[in-house]
Chain A
Amino acid sequence: MDILERPPGEVRFRDPQIEMAHGAGGKLTRRLIEGLILPLLRNPVLAPLSDSAVFDMNGVRVATTADAYVVKPLRFAGGSIGELAVNGTVNDLAVAGAHPVGLMATFILEAGLRGDDLRLEVEAVASAARRAGVAIFGGDTKVVEHGFADGMYVSTFGIGTVDPRARLDARAVRAGDRILLSGPIGDHGITILLARGELDLEADTLVSDTRSVLPFVDALLDSAAAGLRWMRDPTRGGVATALNELASECALGIAIFEDAIPLRDEVRGACEILGLDPLHIANEGQLLAVVAAEEADVALEAMQAVPGGERAACIGEVRTAPAKTVLAHNGYGGSRAVDMLVGDPLPRIC
């Protein structure tokens, strides 16, 4: 396989300017990647468009990932940009079935950032890396003029080795497979929305769910590797977007059961007030997995046994039709299609 012998594909991206929505992880993000980046850079490793690139290096299956963090505010209930950067990078590797070997972190700092703030974030990077059992191998630091960045941005690179037991491929997903979720959704996205203070909403106990999902991945590989087909950490765009991507990759239908989806009261309350769908809200420490029906019970028990996995649940199953669609079913015979996020989730009054 010669990855460089490929002519560029056709660029279909025609948007006149970049909008915030291009970065929201929904449809526009996908259009940007599939319409511009993929055709110009195409190669077989990039083609699957997963969160990590998986390839053979001298006989070793390696996963690499790159990510960038631009969260505002820098610190929020339950976490901060530094912790988010480590956990997010670890999670992109973890859902590819890889154990992180090392990370690199680049800090882009705005002139005027307080030294104390930077120290706190480097400490956050260090302790998150310790918790995830991964080393920071290196990185870079750049400073831009005041007003040209929002305090600080963190860009990361991660590398890991793929667990030989992990045989992940969306195309291996079959009708009847179960969809498992590690815990309550929307905690991170709603925490950030509230932390920005524009909406004047307060929550007493809600915190970001930022954490490494490695323990969940390990639990699944230890208990049900043979039936484990697909994993994703549903960050930007939420569970809805991740499941829509799965539906189009495996060309089957995804059925989820509204009553089975774990959700904290506060997230639900905020979503009701703002007219948002919790399925569209970002998570930073949840794992979605597709497991064969016969292994599903064992896999779910293993997830629930992980500390912090008490509310893990089977939220749905894969069906033959309607193909490439995610349907949510309620407890009284009604259903609705769950679309990918379009742009950022915007609070609505109507």
Chain B
Amino acid sequence: MKYVDEFRDPQLIRNVAGEIARSVDPNHEYRIMEVCGGHTHAIYRHGLQDVLPENLRLVHGPGCPVCVLPTGRVDDGLSIAEHPGVILTAFGDMMRVPGTRGTPLELKARGADIRMVYSPLDALRLAQNEPTKHVCFFAIGFETTAPSTALTLLRAKALGVRNFSIFCNHVTIVPAIRAILESPDMRLDGFIGPGHVSTVSGCRPYEFIARDYGKPVVVAGFEPLDLLEAILMVVRQLNAKEAKVENQYRRIVPWEGNMPALRAMSDVFELRPYFEWRGLGFISQSALKLLPAYAAWDAEVQFEIPGVRVTDPRAAQCGEVLKGVLRPPQCKLFGKECNPEHPVGALMVSSEGACAAYYRYVRYEDDAANAQPVTS
């Protein structure tokens, strides 16, 4: 696969890994946060921690839209599916996320019409094909996904499709990064910036991290070579006592972002005064909602939404893991009460969540050291 395989080249990966090993100061404990859940997944999927020096730890950030969605919002979304004649559509990622009364899949098993879609456009097409039903799209995601919802909504309006609505849960990444930086127990050296969010927002929004907090930020791609190169760039900045925003993912990310995408977003969305993030609490100006001009397609206007806040189980230490204070296995519930089949906390919910990825890919860590390879 072009633009994939070249960036998984074993020789080049070893080159860059070797360069990282030679560049780190052996007396310093490096803690670099990859903000984006896609990065978290890629790091585990490709076993990158195995090729990094012992004293360089990747800390998993809050960039997993499924994980940070509070239980109350899941309940709100699922309540829409209980209205007669409604088809609730969602991405596959949402289907196993537990609300108070079960997951979308469990509700579906009890008879609710909940369907998985690959694209919001598929939800719109379903509405056109099912004129007697109302199709609601459970929108989640950061700046990468928000423009897709925006274009779908603009298209629904242009086509005059009235049996379609959006339950908007789009969030923005910068306020969450700021919340982590403001957290008193935060100890991070630098950041790997979210590559796909940056295709939309560009690299400027991270400048405050370098300017106000003195931390390097390198916007990175998702292949092993991209991530390793970005880590090397962060280490080099730290070695040079620099703090700036750099773009490792130049083949994809324009420095200024994507104007049509930003325009589409400002056409249909406005910032919510505040929004609850699972594990992080309420963060102001961190989420999007539909502008009043689109009330006819806004599920929060069209349906009675309970809007009840549900507190996370006290024992789950998602917030500490999200902020990089604890590693997943240090949480009291990890792997016991909380596992991918029965997620208690946010980070076990999606395959991008730090805990789910850790559970899936490195549970064996302690015995792996004792493994005896039989062949070379």
Contact = CB atoms under 8 A, between A and B. Distances in A.
Please tell me whether chains A and B touch each other in their complex, using a CB distance cut-off of 8 A: yes
Q: What bracket does the count of chain A residues touching chain B fall in?
A: 35 or more
Most chain B CB inside 10 Å of its own CB: which residue of A18, A335, A337, A350 = A350
B371 A336 contact: no
Contact of B224 (A325, A327, A334, A335): A334
A119 to B, nearest CB: 31
B272 interface: no
Given A334-B47, A342-B341, A346-B95, A321 B374 contact: no
B360 A337 contact: yes
Contacts, number: 144
Contact of B364 (A28, A269, A327, A348): A327
B315 interface: no
Interface in B306-344: 340-341
Interface in A259-292: 265, 268-269, 272, 274-275
B141 A349 contact: yes
Interface string A1-33: 000000000000000011111000001100000
A349 B51 contact: no
Given A333-B14, A349-B92, A200 B122 contact: yes
A333 B51 contact: yes
Q: What bracket does the count of chain B residues touching chain A fall in?
A: 35 or more
B116 interface: yes
A199 B363 contact: no
Contact of A319 (B352, B360, B373): B373
B224 A332 contact: yes
B109 A20 contact: yes
B350 interface: yes
A17 B65 CA distance: 28
Given A253-B371, A327-B364, A332-B224, A346 B110 contact: no
Interface stretch (B37-45, B200-208, B242-250, B295-303): B37-45
B362 A337 contact: yes
Contact of A350 (B64, B105, B122, B372): B64
Nearest to A329: B47
B375 A317 contact: yes
A321 to B, nearest CB: 4
A347 B116 contact: yes
A336 B118 contact: no
A116 interface: no
A193 to B, nearest CB: 11
A176 interface: yes
A127 interface: no
Given A317-B375, A337-B362, A17 B106 contact: yes
A269 B95 contact: no
A307 interface: no
B66 interface: yes
B341 A27 contact: yes
A325 B64 contact: no
B86 interface: no
A346 B109 contact: no
A330 B47 contact: yes
Contacts of B175: none
A144 interface: no
A78 to B, nearest CB: 23
Interface of B: 1, 4, 10, 13-14, 17, 37-38, 41, 44-51, 64-66, 91-93, 95-96, 105-106, 108-110, 115-119, 122, 141, 145, 224, 340-341, 350-352, 359-364, 367-368, 370-375
Interface of A: 17-21, 27-28, 175-176, 198-200, 253, 255, 265, 268-269, 272, 274-275, 293, 317-323, 325, 327, 329-337, 339, 342-343, 346-350
The 8 A-B residue pairs with the shortest CB-CB distance, nearest first, are A334-B47, A346-B92, A322-B367, A331-B10, A322-B364, A332-B10, A332-B13, A347-B92
29 contacts: A18-B109, A19-B109, A20-B105, A20-B109, A21-B105, A28-B341, A176-B375, A200-B119, A253-B371, A255-B373, A317-B375, A319-B374, A320-B371, A320-B374, A322-B371, A327-B368, A331-B10, A332-B224, A333-B14, A334-B50, A334-B51, A334-B224, A336-B360, A339-B360, A339-B361, A342-B341, A347-B92, A350-B65, A350-B91
